[in-house]
Structure 1
Amino acid sequence: MSNTPSIELCGHKVGPGQRLFVIAGPDSIESEEMALRHAHLLKGITSRLGVPYAFKCSYDKANRTSGKSFRGPGLKEGLRILDRVRREVGVPVLTDVHETSHVGPAAEVVDIIQIPAFLCRQTDLVEAVARSGKGVNLKKGQFVAPKDIVHSAKKAVEAGNPNVLVTERGSSFGYNNLVVDMRGFAQMREAGLVVCMDATHAVQLPSSSDGKTGGERRFVSLLARSAAAAGIDALFTEVHEDPDRALCDGPCSLNPQMFEDVVRDVLSIRRALGHEAS
């Protein structure tokens, strides 16, 4: 068992020996009704599986391949929708921020603030998110080695927030491809980090589809199972009721049944290896 201390997210202990924490939802808010529908659906699935859960969805995807790509409803409208999801569905909510000026408004609404992978070394952003007092989901950049993300995590901890989850989402492997080094989970754990696997972004084929990012959905389950065996504390997946029609990251997203199957597999592996109580 790792000596990594647990953190707290949305009232749940997350870390070695604790229950798997699940973060899931569509990549971006396509409409108010769509966000509410998905939150209800995913709450039902995670309740059946008995796992603590946070609904994730982005109000603005600022790092799209093309300037013509769908981004979402924007800060004000997006946070209004996420606030409604949180109140009416009764689930914790996660969203990402790309600018320090967005941290304050986001912190008024959501429970976990995510720092995008491309921005994981932006000191001002990391510190601002940490000082918000909300849970921090720090995505490990595609260009950052597992043993080096500890420096970004320390920025948040030293800004006064110990509740930092570090999420693996693959590393750049040549052009238009990512690879996950499963040794990285052990390295991050040895550095005292609580770790999460983003099994859907890890199958991206960045900028590979004529101004859009492609993906290989069929490998999501494989990577999630492998990460469960390697020792993760949380699982992150994007889920869409009709991935082939999603406005963002559809090729990487799971449909609801695939999501449920993946979480069941991950739970079985963790229990078999003694990573959590059965």
Structure 2
Amino acid sequence: MPRLPKGLAFSKVLSPVVNPPYAQGTYQTILEDTVLTSYWNLGNASYHGLNYPNILIENFPDSPAFYLNWMLDPEYYLYEGCQCTQGTMMVTHEYHGLTVPQCVEISRNSLSWWNQMPWIFIIVALVAAAVLVGLAWYFLLRRASRPQILQDLIDMRRRIKGPSTAGTVSFVVTDIESFTGLMKEYPDLAMSALIIHNNLIQKVSVQTSYLRACLKGTGLFSLRDDFSLPKTEKLVLSSTQIQHSLLNEAGVIFYTNPILTSK
């Protein structure tokens, strides 16, 4: 059903509804006859906050220069294209069988707290993301801070994967210089040196995170005076740490002999 007579069209530009001086259905006496001079705002006391589309001749450019200077009650075309200004919302009510819109101001008290403070969700999301990143860094990248159950799960995954069956495997072999002769002449001292030797290797093995991962994760292990590592660069680092610890023990002479074996 057409809202305007043939030859007229709605503009895409809206303008505020302005009540003329004789608005709201007033009567005037013209030539000794009392007539209704305005049909403005039928069924509604005010169109405050309502914007209506301008009217122009059909197929004319949508420009203010071509808008018709007509004052039509928006009810004439059933409020087609009408919108309320920002900060108000449109409600309708019945007036003598007519559905009449009205723009009422939106009260902030009537809005829910998430509509009043939408920025709080952004803050919560940023804080949650920062906490997750911090926990991931603390528990995943810092091995010493991992809970035991998390470390056990990581080790279980390595054990399921199994040790490497191809590639290069590096070994470190340590020994006490002239240990056989020392055992014959000074068995007590030689045994003390052996205990110190093995304890230092065990200590370095436990303190070296990579060693601990290898020992628990892939099945490679350390027995007394030798251990294995899958990567040569890690072997050199661990061997240096062991040799430094052994040299700090006064009165005992040790040496390390890294050997590379290809499989």
Q: Normalized against structure 1, the TM-score is what?
A: 0.16
Q: Normalized against structure 2, the TM-score is what?
A: 0.17
Higher relative contact order (CA 8 A, sep 6+): 1
